[in-house]
Amino acid sequence: MKKLAVVAFGGNALLEAGQKGTIEEQEENAYQTSETLIKLLKRNYNIVLTHGNGPQVGNILLANQGGNQIHGVPEMPLDICVAYSQGFIGYVIEQQLRNVLLKQDMDRDILTIVTQVLVNKDDPAFENPTKPIGPYYSKEEAKKFIKETGAKFKEDKARGGWRKVVASPKPLVISNKKSIERIAREGHIVIAVGGGGIPAYYVEPNKLQGIDAVIDKDLASALLAAQINADKLFILTDVPKVCLNFNTPQEKSIDRMSIAEANRYLKEGHFAEGSMAPKIRASINFVENSGKDTIITKSTHLGIDDGGTRVVMV
């Protein structure tokens, strides 16, 4: 029987820092990232792909606001922008992954499932926005946007810039998880929980409604992986391994980390919020709920036996 893996792409797997975000750039990035998946397919894995949308959903919001200001087109709320991003990113990944499979003479159906995720409207995250979206700005540009729009910005010292931050509530229930597991175990590739999923809550019994937030895609991916009984969770980022004292002279990479060690490093402040910290928490959640391992690594290291940082129970 084939093993089942959930592979979480970061939004930067499609749109790298410093790029403009043209479709040509995103298609090329998607193609290169898709090439790394072949290693898992050849190692007898069935795959569910999830992806971030931080750069893309921020750009969708900017385009949304521009359309309103210039043409009077009604602005759409953040949950709708997340849905937009799920559709277009899913399309780009589907197409470029298909191109890679054709080149390898491999035949798999690839399906994108637009995924709602239930959250609690009273989640304290709504009082403390932490999730970065959109492009990086200078301090002066960020101050200008804060004054004009009331939006909240935070500095990313590791990458040098300021980004808009929004609420990131905890994912509770992922819709269509049974279908996602069934389709994946049949050998098809499923793209789901895009951007962490479309955040929704029950405004009253039996009535769902979207809410203005972005769910962390790593936490949603960990929840999905546990609920579909995945054998492994791969969280892809822009560094080969998790590091202590990141981007300092004392930087030290980690090959293997127990959940007790991971919790200790979190408390010691080694991992930045909106960056590596959610990936560590997601890893802990999956390992605790499944007893299986999580691998955090760069996409080019995917499928290498000793690649990345392995998060384990003990």
- What positions carry a catalytic annotation? 11-12, 131, 217, 279
Return the amino acid letter for 96: Q
- Phi and psi based region of residue 174 (left: phi greater than 0; alpha: psi -120 to 50; beta: remaining): beta
Give the whole-angstrom CA distance, residue 126 versus residue 305.
40
**Within 13 A of 103's CA, how many CA atoms are on the CB side?**
11
Check: CB of residue 220 under 8 Å from CB of residue 117: yes
**C-alpha distance across the termini of the chain, in Å:** 27
**Collapsing DSSP states into helix, strand and coil, what is residue 25?**
helix
Structure tokens at 20: 């403009």
Would you tell me how many other CB atoms lie within 10 Å of the CB of residue 309? 24
Tokens 């009077």, residue located: 72
Q: Among 120, 214, 201, which Cα is nearest to 167's?
A: 214
Give the whole-angstrom CA distance, residue 125 versus residue 108.
39
Q: What residues form DSSP beta bridges with 258?
A: 312
Check: CB of residue 168 under 8 Å from CB of residue 130: yes
Q: Among 157, 167, 178, which Cα is nearest to 216's?
A: 167
Q: Among 99, 117, 98, which Cα is nearest to 215's?
A: 117
